[in-house]
Amino acid sequence: MDAADVEGDLVEILFTEAEIQDKLAEMAARIRADYEGEDLLLVGVLRGAVMVMADLSRALDRHLEMDWMAVSSYGSGTKSSGVVRILKDLDTDISGRNVLIVDEIIDTGLTLSWLVSNLSSRNPRSVRVATLLRKPEAGKVDLDVAYVGWDIPDEFVVGYGLDFAERYRNLRDVGTLAPHVYS
């Protein structure tokens, strides 16, 4: 879906599809260098990370494995509740493995902090985080993020996996959602 298809719903386009692909290629180059000669398991956080995970994994140009987790702390709202539930756990044993959690956005960091702690308790070799977007102003916990595409203002954004009420995920760009849509 193109931005023109939802033009009245967006305040502005923050990043185009081409800019996102370029940023993921930059992130992939750093990840490749950091994990040179080592195994790597990407763990995507469903559902939002699907687009980022797919494109990042293709940009990595190396053998890797992928698995998925689904966790929830939002319900149907627009703000994290802080209570995390595992809706789908990993199928892969991560003991002794290098795990790279891939997410599309870090908002408060509460859910991701919980996820890092949970996965770290499973005896991996390492656990690191990669995210396309981060909202530093919204952060409520100190979270070490190894790979960040962009820091953005604390605004409601959609597209490229990011949704509002399960809509806009397939928007090719990332844009700021107009308040009249979610008010």
What pLDDT shows up at residue 81? 56
Mean pLDDT within 32-57? 96
118 touches 110 (CB < 8 A): no
Say if residue 47 is preceded by a cis peptide, omega within 30 of 0.
Answer: yes
115 touches 89 (CB < 8 A): no
What pLDDT shows up at residue 72? 83
Backbone angles phi, psi at 182, to 5 degrees: -110, 0
pLDDT in tens, 80-121: 556 788 999 999 999 999 999 999 999 999 999 999 999 999
What pLDDT shows up at residue 7? 87
pLDDT in tens, 1-20: 999 999 899 999 999 999 99
Show which residues are catalytic: 107
CA nearest to 3, candidates 21, 149, 153, 11: 11
The domain limits of the chain are: 17-153
Q: Could you give the 3-state DSSP secondary structure of residue 120?
A: helix
Cα separation, 103 vs 175, whole angstroms: 17
Given a cut of 90, whether residue 57 has pLDDT beyond it is yes
What pLDDT shows up at residue 73? 76
Q: What region, left, alpha or beta, does residue 37 occupy, with left being phi > 0 and alpha being psi -120 to 50 degrees?
A: left
- Of 3.30.429.10, 3.40.50.300, 3.40.50.2020, 3.30.470.20, the CATH number of 17-153 is 3.40.50.2020
What pLDDT shows up at residue 79? 57
